[in-house]
Structure 1
Amino acid sequence: MAERQSDEMQGEITPDGIQRMRNRIGNLIPQPKPFNTEASEDSIRHHAFSYGDDNPLWCDAEYGAKTRWGSAIGAPGYVGTMGVSVASPIPPEVRAKGAGALRGVPNYLSGSSWTWVRPVYPGDRVFKRYYIAKVEEKRSEFGGGKAVVVHHKHEFTNSRNEVVAIMRNYFFHVEREASEKTGKYAEIEQPRYDEDELARIDEAYASEIVRGGEPRYWEDVKEGETLPTMVRGPLCVTDILLWHSGRGFGAMFGVAALKMGYENRRKVPAFYTRNEYNAWDVAQRVHWDNARAQRVGNPRAYDYGSMRTHWITNFLTNWMGDDGWLLKQSDQIRRFNFMGDTSWVHGKIVRKYAEGKRHMVDLELWAENQRGEVTAPGEATIILPSREHGPVVLPGEAGEFKPSVQNTDYSVIVEE
């Protein structure tokens, strides 16, 4: 009962809360200082290591200097650790219209799509426009039938206001009490691997190939071709800790230690709940604390959906080599990836084509767990070098992709 009385993460989905969230659409939302304000060789390497990617293009400056890029560059997802906010303060009367929107209603990352336009080099500074693009009501089994989906857009630009990358993601907001009662995933058994299963996982790790400096030419691939399967897991708490070591804890709720944690709790009390010691701790601990995860209707703690996004990116960059360019990647987080689960990443080429000077392939992707469940289906487009037509032409070189048009100093024109 004590937890119920003090637990502020028990918000309800109401028409007023939904409307207040819609009132935020198009408003540039000021962001705290990002984990990285300037790219560096060290932070690029730390980011790659945080999700188990040892590609020397991200991790070895001497190696990178010999590639077409002339330097180590950030892995595709690295730009997500950056982005100094360019948003002006939202006027009080505008902020009031969105105040308290879905406050205390937990949300779960359910999908994302990325477009990468330019590489990030050591020394680069990146800026960000972030806003809510769409709000829709949905039905959800996990949320007891009621959910709100909030779509976000993040635009990353350089000091010349050129687009570096665009990321769209969406979160399902479901009532915590409803998800506890539903208990959709509560009966999933804890895995226990035998020696043969562990040997299969080890064999997959040992046989993983990073294409690296050997170009994968467009002429050498064909539709229907399958990519070598990649494994990630079994997931353990160590993987979550290392994930944070290269990305921080996320700026949205300001997770911080000790005195700074106390100060943050004063600012964002709804983000804190009582733990087993009756002390305050972050609600985010569902990703490493089994007891808290079970409290909200799950059998065990679970990964961040963005971890699987990075694993799929890792899978693609391993295959395409240093001279390829990952243009687009999208994925859906269909199921939880719980502690102890193993993800097998698969892919195949579904289309091979040329557009102007670009020679591309579209791929179908999916991450599947040891129970045979697809947890994260996705798609991607890769630009490959051509034996006949030469190296990859980046979108940035052709002047494509422009930042959103601002209609005030604090808002943008939202385009679907």
Structure 2
Amino acid sequence: MTVQTTDPGSGGVLAEGRITQAGLQRMRDLIQVELRRPFILNTEVTRDAVRRYCWGIGDDNPLWLDRDYAESTVYGAAVAPQGLLYTTHPTYVQVGLPGVHGLHAGTSWEFFRPVPVGITPRVTCWLDSIEERSSALAGNSAWVFFTTVYGTPEGEVIAKARSFSIRSERGSSRARGKERQREMKTWSPEEIAPIEERILAQERRGAQQRSWEDVEVGDAIGELLKGPLCATDMIAWYLGSQPVYAPAHEMALRHYRRHPKWAFRNPALGVLEPNIRVHENIDAARSSGLAAPYDVGIQRHQWLLQLLTDWGGDSAFVKQCSVQFRGMNYFGDLTTISGTVTGKEIDAAGDAVVTLTLASRNQNGEDTMPGTAVVALPRRDGGQPVAAALARSVDYETYLREQAPDLRRLPGAQR
């Protein structure tokens, strides 16, 4: 594949590539191919992995952090937050088009059973399709769709994720981004004090059962506040959910020599750093056409999954959750995640479920992550969705054949 590049100094600090038809065709040749996953943060779902994950998103739920507590719940054993599956594979692979910026733009999850602690999950990811589109922010771009299936070592499906990324040329994004740049929000003591009190007053349902019969269409599910976002939030999150390979010292230098468009030279220090520093480094962020460093889409989705568990309680089970990342969550931004019950039924599996419409608004009222979810709730007559999920079994290999009957496997693809 021929990718035209430009000197980063001509427009920004990051290397710049071009979207070419030859490059797109090389990517299309990978459709329905099981992809190599070049970086996996957690190959095992351990108690330490759960602890680091919870620290990174600010979730101190004892259901995840206290084994004795978890064993006293309907789970009967230590379990992991559903969002931790992102750390075993982030649902996409940054494949092809070197030097072309990639933004994770949305993910739809379907969960079949709880995530047990102590397993080495099976993971299969493939490229579904590629579409050429044009957007206001990115200009001409490639929308890349992936599917990932997660399972237990015994061969039972835990979850399926379908995600998409938008690949756009940095020069075009930067030119359009100049029109949308805004200053990072700085909070005065008078502004931040009531926000901090609201954060500390947030409630978790926990062991108090929320029955399906007690929920009505139109009910609000409360709010979860995250932020205002700062570098500490990002550092803590990386420790628990780092989505890309980002080593240090000589390991980093060897990686950059093998993949020169994976890094940029920090203009303040003159040293090489990975492109993921757009999430903390203002020069790197603005080189991509963005106003300031910003969060990672996975991170925001994990916050939302925390709200669903906090609202539903220990006995609820999140069956589906779909989001799109419609805007950036910059340093200084406060995100308020909320939702409303928009549906209520007994689904085809016999679970008593509610459908939720979700929003994640910044301090300016902009919804940067609209979404939906389906949550199964316990019934007064004793119906327990967690027990039902644990009792179900979907065979991993059979499910793969149903989802991708023509799937091919590359040598070295991890499963």
Alignment TM-score, normalising by the size of structure 1: 0.89
- More deviation in 191-200 or 24-33? 191-200
Please state how far the C-alpha of 1:40 moved relative to its aligned partner: 1.6
The C-alpha deviation readout for 1:259-281, integer Å capped at 9, x for no partner, is 11012112221111111133221
Residues 1:131 and 2:122 aligned together: no
Alpha-carbon separation, structure 2, partners of 1:8 and 1:292: 7
Partner of 2:207: 213
2:221 is aligned with 1:223: no
Q: In 2, Cα distance between the equivalents of 1:282 and 1:83?
A: 19
Offset at 1:103? 2.3
> How do residues 15-414 of structure 1 correspond to structure 2 at under 5 angstroms?
15-32=21-38, 34-82=40-88, 101-143=96-138, 145-184=139-178, 186-247=180-241, 249-251=242-244, 254-276=245-267, 277-355=269-347, 356-392=349-385, 393-395=387-389, 397-400=391-394, 402-405=398-401, 407=406, 410=409
Answer yes or no: is the 8 Å Cα contact 2:225–2:336 preserved in 1.
yes
Report how far residue 194 of structure 1 moved. 2.9
In structure 2, runs of 5+ residues without a counterpart are 1-5, 411-415
Residues 106-158 of structure 1, C-alpha deviations (whole Å, 9 max, x = no match): 11011111111122222211011011111111111222x20110011111111
The secondary structure found in structure 1 opposite 2:143 is strand
For residues 144-181 of structure 1, the C-alpha deviation after alignment (integer angstroms, 9 at most, x for no partner) is x2011001111111112211111111111110011122
Q: CA deviation at 1:365?
A: 0.2
Residues of 2 paired with 1:396 and 1:148: CA distance? Answer: 39
CA distance in 2 between partners of 1:304 and 1:409 (Å) = 30
What is the percentage of aligned positions where both structures have the same residue? 30
Q: Cα distance, 1:36 vs. partner?
A: 1.9
The answer for the alignment partner of 1:4 in structure 2 is 9
- Could you tell me how far 1:295 is from its partner in structure 2? 2.1
Shift of residue 221 of structure 1?
A: 0.6
**CA separation in 1, counterparts of 2:408 and 2:283?**
45
- What amino acid is the match of 1:151? F
Match of 1:390, as an amino acid?
G
**Paired amino acid for 2:221:** L
The secondary structure found in structure 2 opposite 1:390 is coil
**Secondary structure of 1:149's aligned partner:** strand
User: Aligned to 1:317, what secondary structure does the other structure show?
Assistant: helix
1:239 shift after superposition: 0.3
User: Normalised by the size of structure 2, how large is the TM-score?
Assistant: 0.89
CA contact (8 A) 2:90 2:243 kept: no
Q: 1:100 to 1:362 in 2, by over 3 A?
A: closer
Please tell me the root mean square deviation across aligned C-alpha atoms, in Å: 2.3
Number of residue pairs matched? 394
2:346–2:352: 8 Å Cα contact kept in structure 1? Answer: yes
Q: Distance in 2 between matches of 1:341 and 1:155?
A: 33
Structure 1, unaligned stretches of length 5 or more? 86-98, 412-416
3-state DSSP of counterpart to 1:374: coil
